[in-house]
Chain A
């Protein structure tokens, strides 16, 4: 089955012309169409453009040209702007929005020859941990369609898990790459803040949002990230620093790697079955020559409340531009300006987005700013300092990506706090801006469990290296749900 190959392998086969991109893309499109009723991983399927791009890739490859990802089928989370293709952000607000430009990430992957098959479903404006807040219906977990795939990049994780595409772009603001990667048993990396351009990536919380990858393996993620990452003049927060070739050196031995085991992540909220998988994974690393030691990040318990001040604050401002004036949803027959704003926004946004806009507006308002926003920023600095200190002692941190495996669809929709607590292990990396991954490391009652690996700023290579060595030792990343085989 060509579709069950890794991206690395596919890219090699395409370059060697053992495989044609058109053939591959056509097969993938068929699988996507067939999967939609069960998974709903895609919001838009761009078959026509994909086949044209595949043909162009085949021609380039025939001439001995084409980038590193020439002809490889991928998908973009539907908040990366794609010229001429609808970009909805999972919202009714942007149901009719066709971007006039490509996001930098889209542009770079296009330049590398990757073929976009469609736009992936997600929580509305990336706000959610279950991909249930999408206006286009919930995404389902390919391992068990009664379960959520995680969120907000649920479409990306589900599509890679079901091997509908070789890899997907995704974004992570508080865990939106790692948590769905963990729930779907795939590999996800959230790079250092500033490593991947945010230009054209529709903002949720600008100081936390970071684009990244969901793929079937660390090696695949390395290849994708190498093509996506790098300084972009159009994003002032992107960092001007050369991008290493993440693919090189992945096989090197792990001997001497100092792994910090995060004490706070092994709390009473952690499901015992998940804990068992994580402990087993840690023992694999010891066998590979790494050293384990317990470390503590004392301020990490403040992560969730800090996040739920900072992220909504930024969101309330970032989403102000959706006012029905220039693009996006506009209400019918507005009576006056106020009516235009109020009704367009009331109709265009879903409940979770509204909840966060309200929270954010509140924490920024006069008289509350110091008590909430300013204090949260100070706590954020404390958390970042914790990481900095601990990375003086260890090379990477490891622990669970989530407290439990995937939960049933609908189980937490009515209880936002429980939903928010799902990100308890992932949020701190966003607050500190450090890179983090989730890789599959076993199953708890039939559902995948993710091991989280966190590193210091710009240590993506170190994370990918550790993950790859683990994946050479284990087969968890090769497991795929049978019904989508």
Chain B
């Protein structure tokens, strides 16, 4: 069924040349975090033994009927309100008909002509710092299919219907994304948003958040869109970027060598770093959509929508604006810190504990702490470094008990041991020396030990100042207060 893409000679990862414009639209599937399925009472928990979380409705047994999960509706509405979209007062579930062994009823219940959410927008920040608004055409509710298993079943196909009937929100963007990077920025923004709204756990490895990318290229300045291909089911930000880059280069190369792009569905192979054809338009199904007669049109009144709106949390853009205003952060810092609700909450807890140092708090959260978390693949919510503990460290920097440099050492010890900053400082004797007399004494000893260097410095070799700083720091095990040391050295060295 599948065919090889043919060889792409080179440059698949290079940026597209200037004469071509890339046009991308994303269809993101966010699995809604409901406890039960969209049309049945079966559980949605991930990772259970095959077919243990599929009830008769999920199995498409004769005579069974779907009943809509109200929680899934509420979640879709939350999303719609959050992106400033129109919430349909009346939306319709439709059947998308096709045969596949992991599609139990022979149709998927989705929304077609009248989706629950339409005409929203999401702002993304481009690399140059400017903001671009991406239209969200629609977001609709639908059920997931099951999956086919081939491993360990020679000559047979296994069907696991645990996932069948899992609620999905399909979020469709306008074709307004102009590069792989923009596509990733948009996808990340949606990812942030659905987690803020607590409607999706965002777990991409488990497939809770995945996307299809519609990609085409056209000569820059052209009005007409080029023929697009659809890259199916990509489940990481990195793969989305690579898949789009590859596909753009493939299409340009194809057109430039006299070929034409064929409208088709393609799959991204992360091992080979390439996309390959899955099925062409001619082989595509005619889905024969029609309104599902088993479900009444979904009607929502003003009161319901207002009640959902009243319960929305502070959203990422609003939060970033507030952090900038309240803590004097840069747009960049505010953007990074609001990437998740947990991160923002953490930052605010630290910043509130050390009110004089909001920027220092931002630097530490985005710098050493994030690096340490990333290194061990931990989430900020894992509790490895509670906010009050990091705040304890920052307080000691603020009151000059330790220098910024020593603080890094203290942080590492805290990270390893789980001890408080004060305890580490105490145990290691890292308290900064701010006693002028003690620093002066250390300077005199260093001067005495290095007469040659002292002579050279006094002969005009200013560069040696740094040498003396280093020597005194060494002698005090780095504890000398840097500002005081500088000042005293400037006084003493000239003799």
Interface segment, one of A97-105, A247-255, A279-287, A444-452? A97-105
Interface residues of A toward B: which range?
Answer: 35 or more
Q: Are A199 and B286 in contact (CB under 8 A)?
A: no
Interface segment, one of A35-43, A109-117, A200-208, A347-355? A200-208
Interface segment, one of A16-24, A319-327, A400-408? A319-327
Q: Are B290 and A369 in contact (CB under 8 A)?
A: yes
* Candidate in A87, A101, A321, A373 with the most chain B CB atoms within 10 angstroms: A321
Partner of B97, one of A94, A233, A317, A337: A317
Partner of B104, one of A199, A326, A340: A326
Per-residue interface assignment for chain A, residues 64 to 99, with 1 indicating a CB less than 8 Å from any chain B CB and 0 otherwise? 000000000000000111000001010000100101
Is residue B99 within 8 Å, beta carbon to beta carbon, of the partner chain? yes
Per-residue interface assignment for chain A, residues 212 to 241, with 1 indicating a CB less than 8 Å from any chain B CB and 0 otherwise? 000000000000000000000111110000
Partner of B105, one of A199, A205, A320: A320
**How far does the alpha carbon of A444 sit from the alpha carbon of B65 in the complex, in Å?**
42
Q: Are A94 and B62 in contact (CB under 8 A)?
A: yes
Chain B residues 195 to 221 lying within 8 A of chain A, measured CB to CB, are none
**How far does the alpha carbon of A369 sit from the alpha carbon of B289 in the complex, in Å?**
9
- Chain A residues near B64 (CB, 8 Å)? 199-200
- Chain B residues near A236 (CB, 8 Å)? 65-68, 294-296
Q: Are B62 and A97 in contact (CB under 8 A)?
A: yes
Q: Residue on A with the closest CB to B161?
A: A326
Partner of A199, one of B65, B106, B107, B159: B65
Q: Are A99 and B65 in contact (CB under 8 A)?
A: no
Interface segment, one of A158-166, A289-297, A360-368? A360-368
Chain B residues 60 to 94 lying within 8 A of chain A, measured CB to CB, are 60-68
- Interface residues of chain A: helix, strand, loop or mixed (majority): loop
Interface residues of B toward A: which range?
Answer: 20 to 34
Report if A81-B295 is in contact (Cβ < 8 Å); known contacts: A233-B67, A317-B95, A323-B99: no
> In angstroms, how far is the closest chain B Cβ from the Cβ of A83?
11
Per-residue interface assignment for chain A, residues 363 to 383, with 1 indicating a CB less than 8 Å from any chain B CB and 0 otherwise? 011100100010000000000
**How far does the alpha carbon of A337 sit from the alpha carbon of B101 in the complex, in Å?**
8
Report if A103-B63 is in contact (Cβ < 8 Å); known contacts: A236-B68, A236-B296, A320-B105: yes
Q: Are A317 and B63 in contact (CB under 8 A)?
A: no
> In angstroms, how far is the closest chain A Cβ from the Cβ of B224?
23
Chain B residues 83 to 133 lying within 8 A of chain A, measured CB to CB, are 95, 97, 99, 101, 104-107
* Candidate in A100, A325, A328, A364 with the most chain B CB atoms within 10 angstroms: A325
Partner of A320, one of B59, B99, B296: B99
Q: Are A364 and B290 in contact (CB under 8 A)?
A: yes
Partner of B60, one of A101, A237, A313, A326: A326
Q: Are A81 and B104 in contact (CB under 8 A)?
A: no
> In angstroms, how far is the closest chain B Cβ from the Cβ of A281?
35
Q: Are A206 and B294 in contact (CB under 8 A)?
A: yes
Per-residue interface assignment for chain A, residues 306 to 323, with 1 indicating a CB less than 8 Å from any chain B CB and 0 otherwise? 000000011011011101
Q: Are B56 and A199 in contact (CB under 8 A)?
A: no
Q: Are B296 and A202 in contact (CB under 8 A)?
A: no
> In angstroms, how far is the closest chain B Cβ from the Cβ of A316?
8
- Chain B residues near A235 (CB, 8 Å)? 65
Is residue A477 within 8 Å, beta carbon to beta carbon, of the partner chain? no
- Chain B residues near A328 (CB, 8 Å)? 62
**How far does the alpha carbon of A179 sit from the alpha carbon of B229 in the complex, in Å?**
54
> In angstroms, how far is the closest chain A Cβ from the Cβ of B317?
37
List the interface of chain A (C-beta within 8 A of B).
Answer: 79-81, 87, 89, 94, 97, 99-101, 103, 198-203, 205-207, 233-237, 313-314, 316-317, 319-321, 323, 325-328, 337, 340-341, 361, 364-366, 369, 373
What would be 8 A-B contacts, judged by CB atoms less than 8 Å apart? A99-B61, A103-B63, A206-B293, A206-B294, A237-B296, A314-B290, A337-B101, A365-B286
